[in-house]
Amino acid sequence: MLDEQECYDFLLHTLHPEGLKCPDGHPLPDDQAPHDRSREPIFDYKCRKCGKVFNLFTDTVWSGTHYDCVTIVLVMRGFAQGIPTLQLAEELELDYGALLKRRHQIQRLALKHKPNHPLPKIGSR
């Protein structure tokens, strides 16, 4: 079993390597209390500067998701392993259409951010 808090921490580091910020870029102060705690550990915060409410998934490919952190980590692992969407949806008991749509969003993002130059050669044979 994966731990929800560990998955949250992994996603936080992956999605926000410079730390969680509001949609306008204001950093989350260390002493900021959550605005809404109903989806622990996915807390909503209200920016002290502009008043916008945001969370771990705001302005990411996971914005608006109802999946918990463990499910998202399992989905991403499945995508990275090349597991077919139908198989992954069945194993995780998720809606196939919603999962396929998310996979396509992630694939578009990957293509958008792929390097334009060849990868360097590693080692020699």
Domain count, the chain: 2
The full DSSP string for 107-125 is HHHHHHTS-SSPPPP-S--
**Is 49 found in the same domain as 18?**
yes
Q: Which residues pair with 21 in a beta bridge?
A: 27
Residue 15 falls within a domain, yes or no?
yes
Residue 14 falls within a domain, yes or no?
yes
pTM for the model: 0.82
Rounded Cα–Cα distance for residues 57 and 42 (Å): 9
Residue 117 falls within a domain, yes or no?
no
Q: What is the pLDDT along the chain (125 residues), one digit of tens a residue?
A: 689 999 999 999 999 999 999 999 998 888 888 888 888 899 999 999 999 999 999 999 999 899 999 999 999 999 999 999 999 999 999 999 999 999 999 999 988 888 888 878 887 55
Residue with structure tokens 């608006």?
A: 64
